[in-house]
């Protein structure tokens, strides 16, 4: 009897740990409604120096060619896909914590026009948004 109680206790603790891990993943990579169904939002950092905005988006495992960056209605929009690696397609999966599928992140911008420059490094998309002077600023 006691052995069965100990096994049940271990099982309940394991379930609680798995639920906590799932909660942490949902918190780190929240899903939100998008135009094309649910999407996950990559975590970002934003900084500003000398009028230039810097945005770092964490996108490990995302092909940079599969990410679209645009400005739409005063928002910076990052959209793309994280696909299942080919090695996983026929594998028996033991754990899946990284979100897959469509990603989208919308970041409100201060008023103005911007030139976007992008690079990737260490699984991050790094954007530099430089303000563009308009003809009416004199």
pLDDT of residue 134: 76
Sequence-ordered list of residues with C-beta below 8 angstroms from that of 132, at least 6 positions apart, any chain = 112, 113, 114, 115
Instruction: Examine residue 58 and state whether it is found in any structural domain, yes or no.
Output: yes
Instruction: Examine residue 25 and state whether it is found in any structural domain, yes or no.
Output: yes
Which residue's structure tokens are 């919308």? 106
> Residue 73: which CATH number?
2.60.40.790
pLDDT of residue 138: 47
Q: How far is CA 87 from CA 79, 91, 96, 99, 131, in A?
A: 24, 7, 13, 16, 43
- The yes-or-no verdict on residue 121 having pLDDT over 50 is yes
In tens, the pLDDT along 18-50 reads: 666 656 655 565 555 555 556 899 999 999 999
Instruction: Examine residue 49 and state whether it is found in any structural domain, yes or no.
Output: yes
pLDDT of residue 61: 85
In tens, the pLDDT along 54-108 reads: 999 999 889 888 899 999 999 999 999 988 888 888 888 888 888 888 999 999 9
pLDDT of residue 37: 58
Number of domains in the chain: 1
Instruction: Examine residue 28 and state whether it is found in any structural domain, yes or no.
Output: yes
Name the 3-class secondary structure at 65. helix
Instruction: Examine residue 104 and state whether it is found in any structural domain, yes or no.
Output: yes
Instruction: Examine residue 138 and state whether it is found in any structural domain, yes or no.
Output: no
Q: How far is CA 59 from CA 50, 69, 135, in A?
A: 26, 13, 37
Q: 118 is in which domain, residue-wise?
A: 2-131
Strand partners, 131: 114
């Amino acid at each position: 009897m006691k052995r069965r109680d100990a096994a049940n206790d271990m099982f309940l603790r394991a379930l609680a740990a798995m639920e906590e891990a799932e909660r942490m993943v949902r918190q780190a990579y929240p899903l939100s409604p998008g135009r094309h169904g649910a999407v996950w939002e990559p975590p970002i950092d934003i900084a500003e120096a000398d009028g230039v905005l810097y945005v770092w988006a964490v996108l490990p495992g995302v092909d940079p060619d599969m990410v679209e960056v645009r400005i739409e209605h005063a928002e910076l929009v990052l959209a793309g896909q994280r696909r299942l690696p080919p090695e996983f397609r026929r594998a028996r999966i033991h754990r899946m914590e990284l979100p897959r599928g469509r990603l989208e992140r919308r970041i409100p911008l201060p008023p103005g026009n911007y030139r976007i420059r992008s690079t990737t490094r260490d699984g991050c998309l790094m954007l530099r948004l430089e303000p563009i002077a308009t003809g009416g600023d004199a």
